[in-house]
Every structure is written in C-alpha cells, then in structure tokens.
Structure 1
Amino acid sequence: MHRKRLGKIDIQMERDHIDLLAFAGHKGLMGPQGTGVLISKQDYGLEPLIHGGTGTHSELERQPEQWPERYEACTLNTPGIAGLLAGVQAIKEKGIDSIRSHEEELMRTFIEGLTKLEYVTCYGPRDLQKRVAVVSFHVEHISSHEIAMILDSTYQIAVRAGLHCSPKTHKYLKTIDEGLVRVSFGPYNTMDQVERLLDAVKEITEAFTN
C-alpha cells in the first residue's frame, strides 16, 4: 500500500505504479476529520472491516460483493463526504504547485528560525524537496505537552505534541519521554504567523533555560 499526503504532492496511480492508495481527508485535502478514501486499481479481494447496514441489501448478513457497497457498511457520512468534496475543490482552485511553493517558503523560514535558537533541535530532512510542510522539534528539558499548552493559552497558537501515534519513531529518536512538538503549515497560513510562532518558541525557551 502506498500512502502519501494528497493535496501537497502530485500523485498519479499509473505513473507511480500504485495498486492501493489510501489517504485521510483531513490532512492535505482540508476535509473534515473522520473522512478518508481507498482507491483500488483492481479487485484484490479485500475483506470489509464492518458488515451490515448497506441500505440496499438488508437481507444479507454479510456485505454484498459489488463495489462500493462491499466496503460501505452502515449509513454513509454524507456531511463529511460533502466537506471533503469542498476541500478537494479548494485544492484544485489553488493548484498543488502553488500550495506546495507557498508552504515550502513557510517551512523554510520556520526551520531556519528554529536552527538559530539555542536548546532547540529540529527533526527531518534538510532537503525541503523530500518533505512536506510538517516540522517537529524538541526544546531541551521542556515537555512537548507543556510547550503546546503555553502556545495555546498564551499565544493562541495550535500545535500537536506527544508521540504522534508513532512510539517506535520516538524510541529511535530518543524522544519517547518528552515527545516532540509538531507544526503543520497549510495554504492559508501566512509568513506573519510563522514569525509570531518563532518569537513564541524563543520566548518560551528563554523563560525555561535562563
């Protein structure tokens, strides 16, 4: 299975030799949380995770064989699907290249700013072509959750903190105890917001280390 961040990178199933493409709707496509898509090049005989409630084959105890009903048990999340469609349409209007260029500039400024701060370690490839606009960092001797709470309560800046559903990665990075702060930039973020975030991280770091 091939998983990438749609809405940020040009993906073509035939060109990229993808058989199964799964993606969440709430990340690069700006759809609601709880939405996602699985695109299958052909029938690989996948077993559905949930059975029942198709609305069209109520007499069956198992899912029908035809697509897409085989994988769509229960009432569909119609508002979520409509929201995902709106997100996809917004991405198409802005254009993937335009979005990536904008986010890359924000990411470059943020990473360059972090590297100038003492006690701060930034993770991920330095080659921006090998990553999307998601940056994780660690401040020495400060829990990632504490940084996130201060950013939220004092600066009204939302980030994610902790292990990010990837404990083995954090064991490898030796950040399992304090976790990392993760910042994601999107098409509607601005350079002023990046500068404000950098100033906030600097102030927090200086308050804890001086």
Structure 2
Amino acid sequence: MENLLTVTIDKQLPSFRLRLNLRVLNEFLVVVGPSGAGKTTFLQCLSGLQRPERGEIVLNGRVLFSSANRINLPPRLRQVGYVFQDYALFPHLTVEQNAAYGMKKRRNGLEVQEMLEMLQISHLAKRYPGQISGGEQQRTALARALLADPKLLLLDEPLSALDHETRIKLRGELKTLQRRWDIPFILVTHDPEEAAVLGDRVVRLERGEVVWISTTRKRPDCTIRHG
C-alpha cells in the first residue's frame, strides 16, 4: 500500500499567511521559491517543529496534527525524518554513533554498518563530523534519518553547501534512495537545476501560496490544490 500524506495548513508568518492544501504519494516532491516564501516553515510544520494555527496533517491514515481535534504529535512520535541544511550532527559522536542515534528497529533488514556501506561511508564509521567532508556529513545525516524508520523524509537544502561535483553525485544518490525506500521525499531548494533533476513534481511557493506546479512527470493522482 502506498504511503499517503495529506496536508491542509494555515499559519500566520510575519508578513503573510502560509496556506497549503496538498496530497502526496510515494514521490520526490521538490519545493522551490524565493527566500522567506514559507518553504522551511512548511517542512517544520510537517515535522512538528512548528505548529499551524489551523488545519490537519495526516500520514498513512495517522493524524499528526489536527486543530479541530486538538492533536499535535511531538516530532519524536511522527515517524518523519528531517535532514537539516547544516546536517545537525553531534560533534562528539562518531559517524557510526550519529547514524545510530534515534534508531528504533531494523529497517528492511539493514543495520548501521549496512546503511553506512550503502551510502559509501562505512570506512568513516569511527571518525567524527569535524574530520569528514561536507558530502560525507550529508550522507551521515541521511543514514541517521533513514535508520529511524521514517514514513516521510524532509530535506531542507541538504546540498546547498557542497561543491558542484559533489552535488551532482549526491542528487543521483537521493533519487535512488527515494525509489528504494518508497516513501515521500520532500526537498526544499533554491536551485532550479536541482529541482528539475530530482523532482517527480515541483511546487513553487511565493508568500505562502502555491503559484505553480510542474505537470510534466507521472503520478496524475498526486494533486496539490490551492487552499
């Protein structure tokens, strides 16, 4: 059965309201738009780091947030992975320890070492974040997010700090991971090339509103509706 995310949120930001009404299946959804358009706030509402004023967020039939029913699950209970722009790794933990942080159970039979091997960082298992490159830190953050067994993965400009060659390589890896995990990936970026390469669909936000949606890819049953 496919994972399904439905979101209807309304939240006041400093100079406009963020209003979104969307439905996402197992796809790579990319969100673009100018700085301050509400992209990161959208991710944080999904993860539980921010609370909408009104609306509902449902993942696979499980209510994560409902203003009407006064439900607001904390981030640790949402089964939502989040890869931050700065990766948010613990500097005092090794790559292996960072990856294992928050791991609740096996995912597809993969343990920490197998995950590190899949992401090509097993040889760095005993090193610390300060001893590895930006691309290796990004892979470590991905390993940690995936080992927590998410039903939805959020990525907030995870490639923005990397050099061009590393970005191109990691785009392909992200696409492969989404297909392998078969869960929704939602990525925020300012890079139109990155959006075109990764997105099954691309949504542009401006001042909290959807102004256009790409319609060139498959999955016609995945729709975003203006709210």
TM-score for both structures, normalised by structure 2: 0.22
Report 1 or 2 for greater relative contact order, CA contacts < 8 Å, sequence distance ≥ 6: 2
Instruction: Report the TM-score, using the length of structure 1 for normalisation.
Output: 0.23
- Higher fraction of helix: 1
Structure with a larger share of its residues in strand:
2
